[in-house]
Amino acid sequence: MATNGLRVGIGYDLHRLQPGGPLRLGGVDIPFDRHWIAHSDGDALLHAVIDALLGAAALGDVGQMFPDTDPENRGRDSAEMLATALEAVAALGWQIVNVDCIVFAQRPKLLPHRQTIRQRLADILHIEVERVGLQAKTGEGIGPIGREEAIAAQCVALLEEGPRT
């Protein structure tokens, strides 16, 4: 079946929060009074991007590539994990067209950090910042996100056939 050389992947991640900061989100440390409860550094945005890329390339998900049962992944930098996932995707002959992400958080407000996060994602992914979309939504005070118990992220990635690395 022809795919016209395009693939789409969707990623999602959610992590609980605990007192203490800063909060690493999108590979950027943001001043905040809470941080992730997670096996790695817990960067839910980067984990969602990893899942979107791996899903589009039919390579599984972040938990398969970086299992929390592996002690090597304890406290691991999610930016390094994303770079490794990107290498695996590129090795199959795929390159990124764009990514579009949503962060679901009551706080911190992301608007002051939006451009810095977009640039960091672009740098990790080796694409222009114009190809990185980033939106933020609150929990409207409802549920674990609204009560500031958790932050979630979603990402969609579009890949196209390109040179194999």
Structural domain boundaries of the chain?
Answer: 6-161
Q: Using pLDDT thresholds of 50, 70 and 90, give the confidence band for residue 71.
A: confident
Q: What's the average model confidence in pLDDT over 115-139?
A: 97
pTM of the model: 0.94
Q: Which of 91, 94, 132, 127 is nearest to 5 (CA)?
A: 94
Q: What's the average model confidence in pLDDT over 100-125?
A: 97
What are the tens digits of pLDDT across the range 15-64? 999 999 899 999 999 999 999 988 888 899 999 999 999 999 999 999 89
Q: What's the average model confidence in pLDDT over 85-99?
A: 97
Q: Using pLDDT thresholds of 50, 70 and 90, give the confidence band for residue 124.
A: very high
CATH number at 6-161: 3.30.1330.50
What sign does the CA torsion over 140, 144, 150, 151 have?
negative
The β-bridge partners of 4 are none
Q: Using pLDDT thresholds of 50, 70 and 90, give the confidence band for residue 72.
A: confident
In this predicted structure, the answer to whether residue 4 has a pLDDT above a threshold of 90 is no
